[in-house]
Structure 1
């Protein structure tokens, strides 16, 4: 009997695909595998074909037309991780994505993708094409997209899927829009949940970093009931992950790696300081000391002299915000799941599944930087506030005018004050997610032919609320800084000049408010599928599958009314909402051509077509074709071509205008070593773009520039094409000779091109093209104040030129025969990135950038030329031990700085006493046993490293007790 066994073995974080061909029969091994095209479980008897991810036709799993990696529940447990996303992001073919190491919140704004920050959520990104181009299914069906009260994301939040409910995860590492519809450009992640179980399974785990922080509790329990015609599985989970703070790691003590003070020439610290930064009368001033409860002294004749409380502002006065953030964000998740199957007749089954998850998470930032004035660049009322001469704390003796109608010309640039008295900014999310599915499935015969059918309904919703503490009501602030005669009733005059401690609780009580935002998404998805064999050819039966899908999606984002009115001091936002529906039909065909002839053990071709009609994006038809050739039993060769299609998401179409504060440098700033000083061309182009010719402009914001984001209703769908060539070699001689019980080598080459990709032009590229080449489109996207400061960079979503990525996935697996010393295994899994390039339109042609071997920091993403995992394991029955090595090749930043090669080592040991029939297990493990720090990154917006690629610094140890192994 020939069988194909495909599974993932992971020791303490490593993942490896093991593929084995054995025996001589062409029939498939008896397995239990959920269908990839429905919630159905294909409980196939021996010799019957099954459904595998990557095809909707039941087939021998030997004839897999696409590369699929499978991660089972045991493999997830062997990582010691509590999040599905953290496990999947360690795959070499994965590119990261949002996870618990990302502390993005409103403090850096909403990225220009229409989806919002996604604070506290987690994603999976395959092939560096971003998470929105990886389709996530649960039991072969779509799952409701996540929301984190900051926008309308187009991705599934993997933190809403409980680890304890998962049986396995199948990752299709190839685009398959013709089979699965929109979003499957990079691949498909199919999460298969438990559908049957006997008795109790439970686990309790506690983990912590060696530094004594980041404590994690993880509890899972499930119980299964089996009856002759009924099976039920139900359970729940609870995960609590505590924070790791940037102040507790050496790499993140300052805004730049290795920095020891804000006076360091590298810069990066903020000009919004507790004692204030006042750009008034052509001078840059700050308080000599504070607090000053009354009016500070100001000597107009000698502003920094002995009769003045002010001194000249220097870089040493800047504020170090770096220690006040999270390295690992706190999160609490709990929920329950139920899966039930009832055999209505011998040929018809009813399946019902329900999943609910509550997530409480938090992000944190330093104290609010309150910035007022015509050069502030807030884009709201704060840019127009004048500080009246009658304000009892105004030391200058005249009104600081922001200009505008009725105010005369502006006579000050900015007033900056770090509002320490309000405490740190915190963003707390509460997210509820519910998904319910119902399936009728069965089979019928037409003559000797057996056909399988299923109809499915999915209903899901995701509702998120966010509370932001530490914001300011700009209207109340304007009144508190304005004419004192108008500050009546609850109004309390505000002391913005008195330094840290000068803001009283009464002042703060009048201007502060708690910001509340909400977002929600819902999904209705109805599908029907049928598959079977049409007729026989000499080489085998011709298989067919066909189906229909009707989908309705709705999303909305509702910011706080004060934010909508433009009265906040943090990131501005506007409400957004939208919906769409789609109708799609597909068909797939598999045709065996030759069987059992010289040099052709088997040869088959296949293909699929899908027609989609979207209410907001029009119609589209995509195709795929594949070929499988086995010259002999031990070698499988595959090739495929697939077209891809991704309709614009709700957030991309209807996302409202907002702002992202990107940590990038303005090449037009006049500081030592800047292009403005070193390049006459840059100087000329910058002056033409609005920078003062006298060289007075110096970027004041510590590297954060406002990027205007927003959706675009004129977007058209993305399209793609994917070429894939692969081979699997599993020598039977290695098994028959007793050298190995498993031995296989697999390699797959992929080439993906995305056209009309939906994205915003990179802000760094916009600045450089304007400064270096005077590109008209780029310069038009930059808005500067009269003093040269950037008030905004336009980064509205558009259909850019395209994306191209090429690479090779390689896998090798060895497992020894069982001996008196147990069994030993070695598995290797790697990705070689040959190219990743993005093209953006310019005034003439396109600008193409190849990111292979580089890293970029806004948002963070590294593109190493090679990533690989290696797992060595030993199983002696009562004890299992493993060591996993994870290697990431070095990358370079834009300025040439190198992020060195990185190697992580993870170890795990599990003991299972024989006297309890191996049902009780005690596991101990250490991730990052060599205490490897992530490479320091100067361009990253996070805490000086790329959290999508590297681990939090420190050794993480854990202990777990399990029942029902």
Structure 2
């Protein structure tokens, strides 16, 4: 990975990049020919580069665009384009295959689902939904993972063998491309021309021998001289095997640096936890066959099979979880380009991608009783004294027309049922058809294109390890009602006493599915209007119509509320949008003193959504070259993001949030009197030492059809210095600086559950108190069982920072060619404003870790390379500055800076007249471990930002013939 972000501006740096073609150079310059069939990039040619619909001179494109080509991708040794892009210093990370959230956190608040097996790109830490992903400047279908309706593209659904390069626009572009382009645009450019066969095979694995990957890519292209037809087709097979938490010491327990369970481990143990009456909180001394001995007068005495529950009894859920999730991807693609005379052509492409992925969590923790907080039937189960294994007698959940609740919960880890295993099969179909051409008007060439896009992705998930609450109720109820095939259930005898016959009755295999599709039609025309002394005034105009639809259908047992894992309801929705846009480019001055060039640009887009109304977005910018080697540029852009299908139509679903009940200790001396009374009014008992029993609380949230679009405004300004005077010792020497400032209003999110609790306790706010469900009686009286909320336009975000990039490429000396590429992103500010219990608060994220995302103030990637006679070596350093945890009991804990080193050796040669490439490399050559994180919800570190510990070795061979 030699020049990661070199040519981040393709303006004055473009010429320098064009001549920077050392032995293993990558195509980071304006393309030799884009998918619209533009000609090869020469100093006088005009092409389309991401960020504008107007064709510009390839060497005067002012947008801050980063190019990552096939050679850059190969140089990383990574098996997914998302992993490559997530290494960009401007990327905040995003979902990837190091995320193993299924069964651990519940469904996310936005209705998008857990995204198991998917991979996304997030620019500027603004979230993947605010980064628009396109393929050949056309929209791609959103992801599907059988757990919700996401609002982002799964990059793992795009065949990697089809990718020629990626253009990353780090500027607001809603006026050019529409919704979602707030943080920027990722435009994946695919192959349209190829001569012959190209094959690549790569294997890799970690030092421990796990996480084995294989990548096989093949493509074949040909040109028919008589017809002018170009055809390229090919396919990919990619496999990644898992890494388990049990195989890495830092992830072996639920908190870093511990060697045995503390309060962070689960209270649902294989021996069971039993909260009975007002003061019994016990667990078994050991395995008991049949009914355990229990003496109400001395429950922990020598004749009892129980002892008082403590942290030593808790269950370590970590070892069976994945650190790296497994998957297989099968992909095929085909593109055809056919001229239709001298001024028209037809082109089409087709993708198919199948992803088979998996997530895994510890065996199901079965919580039964009024204090369980499941939000379904399990909270209301009475356990009969006639159950042959129940030593406590009749246990009442406090249902209507029954005795008052006399137990809080019974918690049992169902280790006999095996781990909770989720497997996804996701099929993606995507096709486009384009008719394009050119004509003369106003004395200038005009280009037009008409495009049709259809994409569909469908996912099926199979989940083993769940149980049917209705069958659990019957198996725990009166023995007279449990007749064949029902088998009485033993929750009281400890590990191993749940038999296969019992599991056959209560367990079931869950089947969920989801779907998303897109129909998109666009018409674009661009050309010159008239000439000014400095050049031609050019315009682009267009119309776009989109239809998006999505659905999520959980298993019927889940929809009925009878599952023991995360509850969910079906979701379905669709919307249409019609848009028109216009873009204008005006050359103001050229070849004048202090005005080598001065250009202005303007753009506007009108969008009309069937769900959220209409919106106009504007953009204006300019670039100025006072002298040949310096270009200054700046843009102002309005942006917006329309609510996604999951955000609009998502049904109520649960996720588990680490929050603290402000009513804890309400009877302690000095406790605030107002808060105490509000807590008592909300159902907290006025006597005793009340404290929250769990570290996480269940939160139910869902979509809201009244949501408004998010809006933004952004400023981007900077310049590029290209040192032409240094050409005797530097074929390329460029320095680029770009300042960005982005403000987002009406950001969509759910009210923080901690805020809901605090508002109710501090002010007695009726809306907040009504959103909280507390246990009404029994030993768990007052405990929060649920917090309910919906998505709203509740917050705003402000961020600004600086990108600073240096590129150097030497001439070819006798000792070879040398290069340096150094890219840096400084996040100066990242502030989130959201409602609190007493108004609005601002959370300053820069330099912190939120538990799901690190916001380092500084990230850097530097690559040094050397090449001679077909042999190349590249060394890459990736630096992430320190951050501090921002919440919970460990607020302020430092996650130290990390420096990762990668190295690759490559040899290009000819064998029997065929071009061969051999490469070997090591990523994270020092085996650097990620910094330990207490607030991170998974695996004791942040998988969106940091590498797994241990070296990753890979070898690749490629051939062209």
Q: TM-score, normalized by length of structure 1? A: 0.94
Match of 1:387 among 383, 387, 410: 383
Distance 1:916 1:775, change over 3 A: farther
Distance 2:803 2:561 in 1: 49
Which secondary structure does the structure 1 equivalent of 2:91 belong to?
Answer: coil
Distance 2:508 2:91 in 1: 41
CA RMSD of aligned residues (A): 2.3
Contact 1:196 1:231 in 2 (8 A): yes
User: Which residue of 2 is the match for residue 5 of structure 1?
Assistant: none
User: Which residue of 2 is the match for residue 238 of structure 1?
Assistant: 237
Superposition map of 1:329-344 within 5 A = 329-344=325-340
Distance 2:398 2:17 in 1: 81
| Cα offset, 1:52, TM superposition | 1.2
Match of 1:734 among 710, 723, 726: 726
Superposition map of 1:543-622 within 5 A = 543-622=538-617
Distance 2:819 2:430 in 1: 39
Match of 1:824 among 802, 805, 818: 818
Q: Deviations over 1:401-450 (max 9, x none)?
A: 00021222100011100001100000100000010100011101125211
Contact 2:817 2:867 in 1 (8 A): yes
Distance 1:892 1:826 in 2: 31
Q: Deviations over 1:323-346 (max 9, x none)?
A: 121000001001100011111111
Unaligned runs of 5+ in 2: 20-28
Match of 1:804 among 766, 782, 798: 798
The answer to whether the aligner puts 1:699 opposite 2:692 as a matched pair is yes
Match of 1:356 among 348, 352, 355: 352
User: Which residue of 1 is the match for residue 840 of structure 2?
Assistant: 846
Which secondary structure does the structure 2 equivalent of 1:932 belong to?
Answer: coil
Superposition map of 1:778-789 within 5 A = 781-786=771-776, 787-789=781-783
| Cα offset, 1:289, TM superposition | 3.7
Contact 2:10 2:60 in 1 (8 A): no
User: Which residue of 2 is the match for residue 346 of structure 1?
Assistant: 342
Distance 2:16 2:326 in 1: 51
Contact 2:13 2:721 in 1 (8 A): no
Distance 1:447 1:549 in 2: 25
Question: Which segment drifts farther, 495-504 or 306-315?
Answer: 306-315
Which secondary structure does the structure 1 equivalent of 2:93 belong to?
Answer: coil
| Cα offset, 1:753, TM superposition | 0.7
Contact 2:219 2:235 in 1 (8 A): yes
Distance 1:866 1:17 in 2: 21
Q: Deviations over 1:475-513 (max 9, x none)?
A: 011011011111112111111111111111111100100
Question: Which segment drifts farther, 658-667 or 125-134?
Answer: 658-667
Contact 1:54 1:65 in 2 (8 A): no
Distance 1:808 1:300, change over 3 A: same
Distance 1:679 1:962, change over 3 A: farther
Distance 1:588 1:23 in 2: 24
Distance 1:681 1:741 in 2: 74
Distance 1:515 1:498 in 2: 27
The answer to whether the aligner puts 1:794 opposite 2:788 as a matched pair is yes
Which secondary structure does the structure 2 equivalent of 1:639 belong to?
Answer: strand
Question: Which segment drifts farther, 691-700 or 165-174?
Answer: 691-700
Which secondary structure does the structure 2 equivalent of 1:322 belong to?
Answer: coil
User: Which residue of 1 is the match for residue 124 of structure 2?
Assistant: 127
| Cα offset, 1:763, TM superposition | 3.3
The answer to whether the aligner puts 1:189 opposite 2:183 as a matched pair is no
Distance 2:462 2:209 in 1: 28
The answer to whether the aligner puts 1:925 opposite 2:921 as a matched pair is yes
Distance 1:280 1:124 in 2: 49
Which secondary structure does the structure 1 equivalent of 2:87 belong to?
Answer: coil
Match of 2:501 among 495, 502, 506: 506
Contact 2:882 2:898 in 1 (8 A): yes
Q: Deviations over 1:659-713 (max 9, x none)?
A: 011244545545xxx9989975897475565444445334333x22212121111
Distance 1:249 1:620, change over 3 A: same
Superposition map of 1:653-732 within 5 A = 653-666=648-661, 668-669=663-664, 680=672, 684=676, 690-701=683-694, 703-732=695-724
Distance 1:909 1:688, change over 3 A: farther
Distance 1:680 1:58 in 2: 67
Which secondary structure does the structure 2 equivalent of 1:91 belong to?
Answer: coil
The answer to whether the aligner puts 1:529 opposite 2:519 as a matched pair is no
User: Which residue of 2 is the match for residue 749 of structure 1?
Assistant: 739
Contact 1:547 1:585 in 2 (8 A): yes
Distance 1:102 1:750 in 2: 29
Contact 1:17 1:829 in 2 (8 A): no
The answer to whether the aligner puts 1:952 opposite 2:948 as a matched pair is yes
| Cα offset, 1:851, TM superposition | 0.8
Contact 1:17 1:811 in 2 (8 A): no
Which secondary structure does the structure 2 equivalent of 1:821 belong to?
Answer: coil
Distance 2:258 2:307 in 1: 25
Distance 2:492 2:299 in 1: 14
| Cα offset, 1:291, TM superposition | 2.9
Q: TM-score, normalized by length of structure 2? A: 0.94
Which secondary structure does the structure 2 equivalent of 1:178 belong to?
Answer: helix
Superposition map of 1:311-460 within 5 A = 311-396=307-392, 398-446=393-441, 448-460=443-455
Contact 1:271 1:700 in 2 (8 A): no
Contact 1:21 1:634 in 2 (8 A): no
| Cα offset, 1:16, TM superposition | 4.4
Distance 1:679 1:541, change over 3 A: farther
The answer to whether the aligner puts 1:307 opposite 2:303 as a matched pair is yes
The answer to whether the aligner puts 1:961 opposite 2:960 as a matched pair is no
Which secondary structure does the structure 2 equivalent of 1:586 belong to?
Answer: strand
Distance 1:469 1:318 in 2: 23
| Cα offset, 1:846, TM superposition | 2.0
Unaligned runs of 5+ in 1: 1-8
User: Which residue of 1 is the match for residue 24 of structure 2?
Assistant: none
Distance 1:715 1:334 in 2: 38
Q: Deviations over 1:192-217 (max 9, x none)?
A: 01111011111111100001110001
User: Which residue of 1 is the match for residue 894 of structure 2?
Assistant: 898
User: Which residue of 2 is the match for residue 4 of structure 1?
Assistant: none
Contact 2:176 2:605 in 1 (8 A): yes
User: Which residue of 2 is the match for residue 6 of structure 1?
Assistant: none
Distance 1:581 1:173 in 2: 27
Distance 2:515 2:37 in 1: 31
User: Which residue of 1 is the match for residue 144 of structure 2?
Assistant: 147
Distance 1:352 1:415, change over 3 A: same
Distance 1:27 1:68 in 2: 13
Q: Deviations over 1:204-249 (max 9, x none)?
A: 1110000111000110000111122011111000001000000111
Contact 1:10 1:76 in 2 (8 A): no
The answer to whether the aligner puts 1:165 opposite 2:170 as a matched pair is no
| Cα offset, 1:962, TM superposition | 0.9
Distance 2:122 2:298 in 1: 58
Which secondary structure does the structure 1 equivalent of 2:100 belong to?
Answer: coil
| Cα offset, 1:539, TM superposition | 0.8
Distance 2:388 2:551 in 1: 44
Match of 1:862 among 854, 869, 875: 854
Distance 1:10 1:690 in 2: 63
Distance 2:928 2:675 in 1: 43
Q: Deviations over 1:728-764 (max 9, x none)?
A: 00111111xx120100000111111111111123334
The answer to whether the aligner puts 1:97 opposite 2:90 as a matched pair is no
